[in-house]
Chain A
């Protein structure tokens, strides 16, 4: 079965075509994967309207390219999967409009996909993780998840902003353009690595980053602190919080597999820390490869295939909803 996956939750617009034979995930094959990202001006974040304008401008080109690179025709595609949430409303809408249009015109089943779930499914396929403790770290999520009885259940999560927002908002205050994670990582690793205390907030299994953000911004505004060292201290503190939350979750659940997915999974320092934690508890760490850590159409194609093949799910084009706040723990995972 062939699927077209359309991703448009935040700054990335992506289309991918993928194939899966029967119900076997092992036969999944990526035929094409095309993306284009909206870059906000330096010092500012994603403006939902501007991002959706970018998506509207590039969507036909990206789609054409994805079809062309797969050497298929639109008629060959069996199902159309799209990212229905959670995400930015105007951005989600562009993907959904395109998906509904294609579904109507070519008479193909339309499959709404939860974006967070798609990160997990793709990560599991790429890394071979079977039933891991999942650390989902991105601009939209910071969650520690466990799978039990048809649902991903939240063991711990952020009480305010996400780790991605922390890095982005701090980076923006210095005049960088989002996403700022890699820039901060570079500044931190090139700094003198002089650590100075930044609030360390962990509330049981939950984490909180808004205090860190305020402290870090104040520090650079004062001018007496070196920017590199502040980036270093911020990273060290924020990642140590995540590592501790992960360690708590492993020790509570005795999971022998941990998987990190989402955009922030690309950070080497975070992966190092988590690796240390996992080794200590004889647990295997799976890190989603950088190329697929961020948003992409492949994750949507894969998840729509698994969902459709196993549960025949699809919606009529007029019911092709989007939901900006579609929480992962409310999704009934029919196939796992």
Chain B
């Protein structure tokens, strides 16, 4: 009885808009008595409607697919409860924890390295590796924190070193702009774990490719010498 009332109370307040993300709205909803997250890719009125519809549709399907594929790589990611390709909505597990961006440390970069290496060894390229796309899940019952990865909208399958390297490069850019105070230690920790969890020799090859991509950037001669 109490439980029922609690659910009713909860469902009264839900849905709650958690975040207006860059491409989707995140809502905390009630999914048959369970708290869940609805990721709704709403219209972007500034975009041409044909382009907009295609992008939202493609990314929704891709994300739902990759969320399951990530589990095959033994990566913690939300479970998909329901997929609505018409509304471009994914209803998924709500993972409770701290956003990695707000608690980031050089130590946590080790976990990042492991996670991304595991994804890459399954040929999954995430395509949007920023610290805000990770949740540090606190499992108080077994006193254990686990890094969960979210937001697979830009992900794809690839075996190319180039694609893996562009994932790593993106993270490097984020570390260097948003977490610049600890950049050196964080990136070296990341590289170490990334290499050790990658199949033999590949980690280092990917990291070398990152430098190569950077050297192709505009006016990069100077950037590299700094």
CB contacts (< 8 Å) of B217 on chain A: these are 157, 159
CB contacts (< 8 Å) of A247 on chain B: these are 22-23
Complexed CA–CA distance, A205 and B220 (Å): 18
Knowing A149-B180, A327-B222 touch, does A251 contact B47 (C-beta < 8 A)? no
Q: Are B218's CB and A273's CB within 8 A? A: no
Q: Are B46's CB and A325's CB within 8 A? A: no
CB contacts (< 8 Å) of A206 on chain B: these are 166, 170, 173
Range class of the B interface residue count? 35 or more
The answer to the question of A321 belonging to the interface, with a C-beta cut-off of 8 Å to chain B, is no
- Total contacts A to B, CB within 8 angstroms? 116
Knowing A154-B173, A240-B46 touch, does A252 contact B130 (C-beta < 8 A)? yes
Instruction: Bits for A235-265, please: 1 = Cβ < 8 Å to B, else 0.
Output: 0110010011001101111000000000000
Q: Are A195's CB and B51's CB within 8 A? A: yes
The answer to the question of B129 belonging to the interface, with a C-beta cut-off of 8 Å to chain A, is yes
Within 8 A of A (CB), among B193-220: 213, 216-220
CB contacts (< 8 Å) of B176 on chain A: these are 153-154
Give the A interface residue count (CB, 8 A): 48
The answer to the question of A280 belonging to the interface, with a C-beta cut-off of 8 Å to chain B, is yes
Complexed CA–CA distance, A197 and B58 (Å): 14
Q: Are B130's CB and A162's CB within 8 A? A: no
The answer to the question of B8 belonging to the interface, with a C-beta cut-off of 8 Å to chain A, is no
User: Which residue of chain A lies nearest to B49 when distances are taken between CB atoms in the complex?
Assistant: A195
CB contacts (< 8 Å) of A66 on chain B: these are none
Q: Are B180's CB and A153's CB within 8 A? A: yes
Within 8 A of A (CB), among B116-151: 127-130, 132
Complexed CA–CA distance, A257 and B181 (Å): 23
Knowing A153-B176, A325-B219, A326-B219 touch, does A204 contact B170 (C-beta < 8 A)? yes
Chain B residues within CB distance 8 Å of chain A: 19-23, 44-48, 50-51, 54-55, 101, 127-130, 132, 154, 166-167, 170, 173-174, 176-178, 180-181, 213, 216-223, 226
Chain A residues within CB distance 8 Å of chain B: 86, 140-141, 146, 148-149, 153-160, 162, 195, 197, 200, 202-206, 233, 236-237, 240, 243-244, 247-248, 250-253, 272-273, 276-277, 280-281, 323-327, 329-330
